[in-house]
């Protein structure tokens, strides 16, 4: 479970998040919907302790991680995989190396266990046969799946997606969204998906929070979006490309 309590964040004079409170339940897919530049990536990074809030608290499984050091954060971060918007793969490493890198770095596993874990992810993501490719030689959808495989390498209980379908074609988008659904149904993996794409929300989310001008203006199941009278949501629903 991840919980933001009255979290505010400012960059200089600009207040990006104002008193945001939000709870992410285990085994559920939570979407955070908002226009670009509203602070969606920022929220994800707050959850991992990559950014510290100006005020308020971040709790993971009831532990207040707000003031944790990098070393203290590591066991927490192991519980949460992250898929960055641009994947953030290491471009000089092959797909297998990208996946095994952090295993080798941080866990003292025997070599056969490392190979097994990487193979498991390659298979799940449908990447067999591309073991020795460099990320640049793959399509956008495949790179995204490599990033998902890497995010799952520590067997986390939650996975965070920063705009998982941004920049992908409709077919690849659907594959990624299906994969997210499968992760939830097959291994009970909870997910946070920040996105500005409404159809993603309806495709995978159990519930959705809408972030607008620094605050959460809606937090409920996706269908309830249609009942909202908030002007931003109504205009977003009628004009979802914004």
Partner 1 sequence: MWKLAQAYSASFEEKLKGITFSMQDFLFFSLRAFRAIGASKRYWRDVLDQAYICGTESLPILLVSALSIGSLIVIEVGHQLAEFGAKTMTGRSVALSVVREISPLVAGLMLAARIGARNSSELGAMQISEQIDALRAFGTDPIAKLVVPRLVASFLMFIPLIALCDLVGLISGAYLAEWDLHLDRGIYWNSVIDILRPMDWLVGFSKPPVFAIGISLISCYTGFSTTGGTAGVGKSTIKGIVYSSAFVLVMNFYLSKVILDLMRG
Ligand X SMILES: Nc1ncnc2c1ncn2[C@@H]1O[C@H](COP(=O)(O)OP(=O)(O)O)[C@@H](O)[C@H]1O
Footprint of Mg ion (CB under 5 A): 41
Helix, strand, coil fractions of the chain, as percent rounded to 5: 40, 25, 35
Residue 42 binds which of partner 1, Mg ion, ligand X, none (CB < 5-8 A, kind-dependent): ligand X
Q: Residue 203: which H helix or E strand, with range?
A: helix 198-204
Instruction: Tell me, rounded to whole angstroms, the distance of Cα 231 from its chain centroid.
Output: 27
How many chain residues touch partner 1 (CB under 8 A)?
A: 20
Closest residue to Mg ion using C-beta atoms: 41
Are 99 and 146 a contacting pair, CB within 8 Å? yes
Q: What does the alpha-carbon distance between residue 45 and residue 77 come to, in Å, rounded to a whole number?
A: 11
Binding site for ligand X (CB under 6 A): 11, 16, 34, 36-42
Q: How far is the CB of 234 from partner 1 (least distance, A)?
A: 32
Nearer to partner 1 by Cβ, of 43 and 198: the residue is: 43
Q: Could you say whether residue 55 binds partner 1 (CB under 8 A)?
A: no
Residue 37 binds which of Mg ion, ligand X, partner 1, none (CB < 5-8 A, kind-dependent): ligand X
Residue 121 binds which of Mg ion, partner 1, ligand X, none (CB < 5-8 A, kind-dependent): none
Joined tokens for residue 226: 């249609």
Are 134 and 88 a contacting pair, CB within 8 Å? no
Q: Could you say whether residue 36 binds partner 1 (CB under 8 A)?
A: no
Binding mask 178-217 for partner 1 (x = CB under 8 A): ----------------------------------------
Q: Tell me which residues touch partner 1 (CB under 8 A).
A: 45, 48, 50, 70, 74, 77-78, 82, 84-86, 88-90, 102, 105-106, 150, 153-154
């Amino acid at each position: 479970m991840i919980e933001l309590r009255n979290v505010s964040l400012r960059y200089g004079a600009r207040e990006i998040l104002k008193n945001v409170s939000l709870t992410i339940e285990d085994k559920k897919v939570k979407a955070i919907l908002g226009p670009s530049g509203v602070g969606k990536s920022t929220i994800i990074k707050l959850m991992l302790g990559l950014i510290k809030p100006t005020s308020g608290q971040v709790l993971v499984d009831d532990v207040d991680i707000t003031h944790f050091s990098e070393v203290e954060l590591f066991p927490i971060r192991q519980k949460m995989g992250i898929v960055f918007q641009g994947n953030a793969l290491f471009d000089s490493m092959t797909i297998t190396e990208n996946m095994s890198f952090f295993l080798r770095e941080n866990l003292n596993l025997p070599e056969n266990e490392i190979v097994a874990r990487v193979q498991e992810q390659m298979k799940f993501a449908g990447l067999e046969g591309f073991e020795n490719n460099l990320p640049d030689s793959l399509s956008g959808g495949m790179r995204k799946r490599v990033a998902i495989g890497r995010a799952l390498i520590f067997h986390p209980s939650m996975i965070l997606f920063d705009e998982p379908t941004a920049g992908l074609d409709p077919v690849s988008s659907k594959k990624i969204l299906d994969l997210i659904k499968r992760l939830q149904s097959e291994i009970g993996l909870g997910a946070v998906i920040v996105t500005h794409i409404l159809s993603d929300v309806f495709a995978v989310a159990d519930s959705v929070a809408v972030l607008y001008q620094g605050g959460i203006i809606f937090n409920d199941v996706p269908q309830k979006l249609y009942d909202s009278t908030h002007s931003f949501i109504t205009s977003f629903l009628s004009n979802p490309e914004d």
